[in-house]
Amino acid sequence: MMDPAPTSPRARRAGGRAARKALRSAPLADDIRPVRPGLEGGRFKPLTEAQVIRIHEAALQALEEIGLSQAPASGVAAMTAAGAILGDDGRLRFPRSLVEDMLAKAARDITLCGRDPRYDLHLSGTRTHFGTAGAAVHIVDLATETYRESTAADLYDAARLVHNLDNIHFLQRPMVCRDIPDNYDMDVNTIYGCCAGTTKHVGTSFSDPSHVSGCMDLIHLIAGGEEAWRTRPFISNSNCFVVPPMKFAEESCVAMENCIRAGMPVLLLSAGQAGATAPAPIATAIVQAVAECLAGVVYVNAIAPGHPAIFGTWPFVSDLRTGAMSGGSAEQALLTAGCAQMHHFYGLPGGAAAGISDSKLPDMQAGWEQGITNVLAGLSGLNMVYESVGMHASLLGFCLESLVLGNDVLGQVQRCVRGIEVSEDFVSLDTMKEVCLGGPGHYLGSDQTLRLMQTEYIYPEIGNRMSPKEWDEASRPKLLDTAIARKESILRRAGSMIAPDIDAAIRQRFNIVI
C-alpha cells in the first residue's frame, strides 16, 4: 500500500482556512452565540443616585401640583375611585401615596410573547431587546433616492425582513399603510401584515377605540382562539395615552382600556419633545415623561391591578434652532439612557427610543446616529429599544435596506452590551505560555483562538472587512448594493407565517389588501 502523497504547506493553509470558514458559517446554539436577545446592560449611568432621586421627587411633585387634564369619563371614574383627586379646573391630581400604592401593584418581570416561544422577550432587570417602531408615512426608495408613501405591502416586507434578521428582536409597526383609506381596514391590515411576516412579538396601535373589538376577532383567528390568545398574547398595544405636556389623550385612553380588557399588554407611551412639548432641559424633559408615565401606571392598575404594561418614557429632542425633531442627536442618546435609569429605579419594564436617524438616506450620518444612540441605550440596560433600526428623516421615512444594514449595527451594539468576560478560563496564562515559550509566537492557530472565534467575536454580514486588494479583486462592492442584494434574497424566500386555512378564513371575513 502506497503512502499518501505529502500535503504541501499551501494546501494545509488552504484547508485550515476552509475549516475556519465552515466553522464561522455553522449555526450556533442560542446560548453560546456572541450576541442574543436579553443581554444585560446597565453599565452606563448618566445620572447619579442623587439625581435619580431628585427626578423622582420632582415627578411626584408635578403629579400632585399640576396633574393631568382631559381624561375620559371612564378613566376619571377609575382613577378617582383609586384615590386621584379631580379639581375644579378639570385636572386629575395624584397624591404621592396613591402613586406609591399603584407602583406596588404594577407588573414586573413581564414576558412579551412571540407566536413562536423562541422569540419571547423577558423584560426584567437590565435585559435589552432591540426592535422597530414608529409611524413613518414614507418609504425611502433607494433606486430613485426619493420618498414615496408607505403601503401595506411595504409593511409586510418589513415584517419578513425583521423575522429573518437575528439582531432585531421584535416588530412594532414602523410605518402607516397609506394606501388604505379606511382607518378600520388600515388597523386590520397592519396587524395582518405584521403577523403574516413574522412570529416575533408584534406591537400595534389603533386609530379608533371602536376598532379594538374587530381587530381582536382577527387576532383570535391568528392565535387559534381567545383562550390561546389570553394564554400567550403575542401583540402589545403601543398607546400614546398622553398628549404632552400633561394631558391625557381621550380616544387613546379608551382604546387602552379596551385593550386591557382584551388581555393585551400595553406600552404607556409619553412622547414629548424637549423644547416644544416638553421642557428644554434634558433632566426636566425626563421629569415630565416620568410624571406622565406614572399617571399611566395609576390608570392601568386602577382598572386591572398587575396588568402587563411597559413604562414608555419616550421623550424626543428638538433642534432648538428650528424646532425640528433631532432623533439622532447626542442629547437624544443621553435622554434615552437617563430614562432607562428611571425604569430601573422603579423596577418596571421600560422602553424608549434610540437608533433614529435625521439623515434622509442610509449614509454615514445615519450610521453614526444609529450607532451612538443605540449603544448608549443598550449600555444603559433599556429593556425595549424602540425605533432602533430603519428610521430616517426624524421618523418620517422608513428604509427596508436600513433594516439589513441596521442588523449589522445592532450586532456590534449588542456585543458592546455583552461586555468583557473576565473569568479564570479567559485570563489563564496557559495559552500565553504555550505561544511565547517555544511556541509559534502568535495565537492565530491556537486551540483557544479557534474555540472562541464564534462565541467571543461577532462578524458583520454586510459590513466589508476586505483589504483594498481583495476589495478591488471583488469588483469593489458597495455597501448599499450588498444590502439591497441581501434584502431581495430574504424577500424571495420569505413566505407568509399564517397557515393557508387560517389565511383563507381571515380573508373571508376581513378586507385584506396584501
Instruction: Measure the CA dihedral 113/118/123/124, to 10°.
Output: 140
Q: Identify whether 356 is part of a domain.
A: yes
Q: What is the reported pLDDT for 234? A: 98
Structural domain contains residue 115 = yes
Angstrom distance (rounded) from CA 467 to CA 294:
53
Pick the closest to residue 514 from 163, 190, 173, 165 (CA basis): 190
Task: Kindly state whether residue 44 falls inside one of the protein's structural domains.
Answer: no
Please name which of 386, 490, 501, 492 lies closest in space to residue 163, comparing C-alpha atoms: 490
Q: Positive or negative CA dihedral for 58, 334, 338, 397?
A: positive
- Beta 201-204 vs 235-239: how paired, if at all? parallel
**Residue 428: pLDDT band by 50, 70, 90 thresholds?**
confident
- Average pLDDT on 270-280 reads 95
Identify the pLDDT of residue 10: 44
User: Which pLDDT score is estimated for 426?
Assistant: 86
- CB atoms < 10 A from the CB of 357, how many? 29
Measured CA to CA, the distance from residue 10 to residue 14 in angstroms comes to: 6
How far is Cα 500 from Cα 196, in angstroms, rounded to an integer? 11
Residue 45: inside a domain: no
Q: How sure is the predictor about 20, in pLDDT bands with cuts at 50, 70 and 90?
A: low
Calculate helix-pair angle for 73-82, 250-261, nearest 10 degrees.
70
Contact call for residues 174 and 212 (beta carbons, < 8 A): no
Phi, then psi, of 137 in degrees rounded to 5 = -105, 0
Structural domain harbouring 390: 103-419+502-509
Prediction pTM value: 0.94
How large a percentage of the chain has pLDDT more than 90? Answer: 88
Distance separating alpha carbons of residues 467 and 450, to the nearest angstrom: 22
What's the start-to-end Cα distance of the chain, in Å? 67
Residue 33's pLDDT is what? Answer: 85
**Whole-number pLDDT of residue 5:** 45
pLDDT, residue 423, reads: 87
pLDDT of 23 higher than 60: no
pLDDT digits (tens, 9 = 90+) for 236-255: 999 999 999 999 999 999 99
- Write out pLDDT tens, residues 74-120: 999 999 999 999 999 999 999 999 999 999 999 999 999 999 999 99
Under the banding of pLDDT at 50, 70 and 90, the label for residue 357 is very high
Looking at residue 191, what is its pLDDT? Answer: 98
| CATH code of the domain covering residue 237 | 3.20.20.480
Q: Provide the domain count of the chain.
A: 1
* Residue 397 within any structural domain of the chain: yes
Quick one: pLDDT band at residue 11, thresholds 50, 70, 90?
A: very low
CA dihedral sign, ordered 375, 381, 387, 389: positive
Is the four-CA dihedral 80, 81, 83, 88 of positive or negative sign? positive
Q: How many other CB atoms are found less than 10 A from the CB of residue 418? A: 18
Tell me the β-bridge partners of 266. 237, 309
Residue 36 lies in a domain: no
pLDDT (0 to 100) of residue 43: 95
**C-alpha cell of residue 202:** 408584534
Please state, in angstroms and rounded to a whole number, the distance separating the CA atoms of residues 129 and 378. Answer: 8
Q: How far is CA 179 from CA 79, 115, 137, 155, 400, in A?
A: 39, 27, 10, 11, 18
What's CA 9's distance to the chain center, in Å?
Answer: 49
Has residue 479 been placed in a domain? Answer: no
323, 288 contact by CB (below 8 A): no
Sheet strands side by side (includes 146-149): 146-149, 138-141, 397-398, 391-392
Whether the predicted pLDDT of 454 surpasses 70 = yes
Q: Is residue 22 part of a domain?
A: no
* pLDDT higher than threshold 80 for residue 409: yes
352, three cell numbers: 424608549
Q: Say if residue 398's pLDDT is above 90.
A: yes
| Per-residue H/E/C for 481-514 | HHHHHHHHHHHHHCCCCCCHHHHHHHHHHCCCCC
pLDDT at position 407 over 90: yes
pLDDT in tens, 116-170: 999 999 999 999 999 999 999 999 999 999 999 999 999 999 999 999 999 999 9
Share of the chain above pLDDT 70, in %: 95
